[in-house]
Structure 1
Amino acid sequence: MDEAPARFTIVPDDYHVPYAGTAGDGRRFFLSDELFVPGGSAYVGVFLWKADGTFDEVRVDEVVRPAGLPPGQAAPADADQLVAARLAQLGDYVLEPIEVEPFTKTVRGVTFGFAVTQFEGMYSINVEPGDFIAYYAPWDGLEYDT
């Protein structure tokens, strides 16, 4: 059996994690336009941690979910201008691996964040809402399941 992680690493990539790194003010960030409630709303979310990796805040905007997607499938929202605006709010950011703590925060009745879950003795960290990314031990962010 493994242990629930106190920290994990998020590594930016060209797939589901295009925006992770350090904001101009030193905070760590993860931005996604693939957050969704199955069969419901879609969101653009910016998750922010203090420079030491402890949770700071979540900023979310409800957006239109692309038409024709199966209920459990993640896909980028049609929100390029909103993503650009949220990135601009980060100042001179750097895309780079970040080490942060998992957290969840409920906003308008929807849970957002990186939820620690356990199944058959194995821990994972799932991006919420939508559960479209799952990180596993060794928590280095280099591989994840979608």
Structure 2
Amino acid sequence: MPARFRIVPDDYHVPYAGTAEDGRKFFLSDELFGPGAAYVGLYLWKADGTFDEVKVDEVRRPDGVPPGQAAAAGADQLIAARLGELGKYVLEPIDVAPFAVEKNGVTFGWVGTEFEGTYSIHIEPGDFIAYYAPWDGLDYDT
């Protein structure tokens, strides 16, 4: 398992990843979900890529989305507010450390796992993005 992995912004599940005005690295998503709940999560790392904090807001899960499938929560105002907290930010690849924290009994983070000798780092909650070696952030499984 690597000490760091790369997250590269894209037009699919990773629209907001980069560096905030204060130098911290960030990943922002409105596709986080657990049983019966959806979340907007702002994951923050210090400038050196070590974990700093997670800011989470529970939102209504979109109607008609099958269990286990990620979907945008439609929380555009909340996304805009969280982006505003970052000051002038740059969308760019970031190299960060995996982490996990619990908030109200729900795990949030980028969690490393091993299955049959293959290592991955996936997002929680929802496990809808998983990175694998070579950890370059260019390809991920959904």
TM-score by length of 2: 0.99
- Find the partner of 1:22 among 19, 26, 32: 19
Post-superposition CA distance 1:37-70 (Å, at most 9, x none): 0x31100000000000000000000001100011
1:122 counterpart = 2:115: no
Q: Does 1:11 align with 2:8?
A: yes
Aligned to 2:127: 131
What is the TM-score when the length of structure 1 is the normalising length?
0.96
- Give, in whole Å, the separation in 2 of the partners of 1:126 and 1:52: 20
Give runs of aligned pairs for residues 99-114 of structure 1, distance below 5 A: 99-114=95-110
Identity %: 76
Unaligned runs of 5+ in 2: none
Give the paired residue count.
142
1:9 Cα deviation (Å)?
0.3
Letter in 2 for 1:128: E
Secondary structure in 2 matching 1:88: helix
1:67 match: 63
Distance 1:143 1:129 in 2: 20
